Chain A
Amino acid sequence: MADAQGTDAGHGETRRPDRVYGVGEEPDPRFSMANERTALAWMRTALALVGGGVAIVSVSSLDGMPDWAPLVGAASCLGGGALALRSVSAWARVERALRLGRPLPAPRALAMLAAGVVALAALTLTLSVVELTTR
């Protein structure tokens, strides 16, 4: 069982990372679980980007596909990887804020994701139009 400071693992394990669990007090478990689920939702979004990128790369290996298609797939893969890293760091920041009783950090990743997806879509559209007109 965890003590009031949340320093006891309760399951015979050390709670990591220390920069999150070494500070503040144990928050309401509902908030911690909601934070965990939010991070997992971000992770699934990242996995969707990576999966989409791999699908584009796999389709571009077929004959008759545009030369730039693998690059779009690679960009989607890298964006997904970056988003996954961001999701774990955001989970840590929110958990820390919950433990310290501070205001939650702003969800900046949402704007970054929207901008990235719009940029990728615009790039794909532009390259497709160029491909169609030069054929």
Chain B
Amino acid sequence: MNPTRPNAGGVAGRGAGDVAGRGVGGVTRLAAGRFRRSRGGPRGHVPGRDALQPERTALAWQRTAVTALVCLVPLVLVSLRTHVTPVAVGAAAAMAVSGVLVWSVHRRLGQLGDDSRGYSPYTPMSLVLAVTVLCSLGGAVVGVSLWLR
């Protein structure tokens, strides 16, 4: 196997995260096929769907973090428009937390690729929960204050 072409040769024996981290989508499979045909390299082992689990989990985190960030934008805007300043400040703080979460997903991806057994998703999940609950309470406060006017 040519070590400079990690996706071209056999990947059997590697961890699932290593495989997923390098990307085993259709594009890389095509590239591996092309390499086999052109260079006559060893027949590659296409891993099962389980190997993509870490990548799918990391993408789920990314989607959740981005959703949390996007949900807060209208809350900040409406609370500023209706002059409910505490909610605007809280939503802005929650946006900062969501931004940190989006950034920290890179770390999660690295951990999933390395060894997912020693990891607990509790802390980032608590952060998402805090953002959601803050956003929820902020929306409820703004809604009730609008109704009372």
Q: Which residues of A contact B (CB under 8 A)?
A: 1-2, 6, 8-11, 13, 15-17, 20-21, 26, 29-30, 32-34, 36-37, 39-41, 43-44, 46-48, 50-51, 53-58, 60-61, 67-68, 70-71, 73-74, 76-78, 80-81, 84-85, 87-88, 91
Contacts and interface: CB of A to CB of B under 8 A. Distances in A.
B82 interface: yes
Given A71-B147, A74-B144, A10 B74 contact: no
B132 A43 contact: yes
B56 A54 contact: no
B27 interface: no
Nearest to B125: A88
Interface stretch (B6-14, B29-37, B38-46, B109-117): B109-117
A70 B53 contact: no
Nearest to A67: B147
22 contacts: A13-B118, A15-B118, A16-B122, A16-B123, A20-B122, A29-B117, A33-B56, A40-B128, A47-B64, A47-B67, A47-B68, A53-B140, A54-B142, A57-B139, A60-B143, A61-B81, A70-B142, A71-B143, A74-B140, A78-B140, A84-B132, A87-B129
Interface in B91-149: 111-112, 115-123, 125-126, 128-129, 132-133, 135-140, 142-144, 146-147
B71 A30 contact: no
B122 A55 contact: no
A56 B139 CA distance: 9
Given A16-B123, A54-B75, A57-B78, A73 B139 contact: yes
Interface of B: 16, 50, 53-54, 56-57, 60-61, 63-64, 67-68, 70-71, 74-75, 77-78, 81-82, 111-112, 115-123, 125-126, 128-129, 132-133, 135-140, 142-144, 146-147
A54 B125 contact: no
B122 A50 contact: no
A47 to B, nearest CB: 5
A2 B118 contact: yes
B119 to A, nearest CB: 6
Contacts of B142: 54, 57, 70, 74
Contacts of A77: 135-140, 143
A10 B139 CA distance: 40
A37 B132 CA distance: 17
Contacts of A17: 120, 122
Contacts of A84: 128-129, 132-133, 136
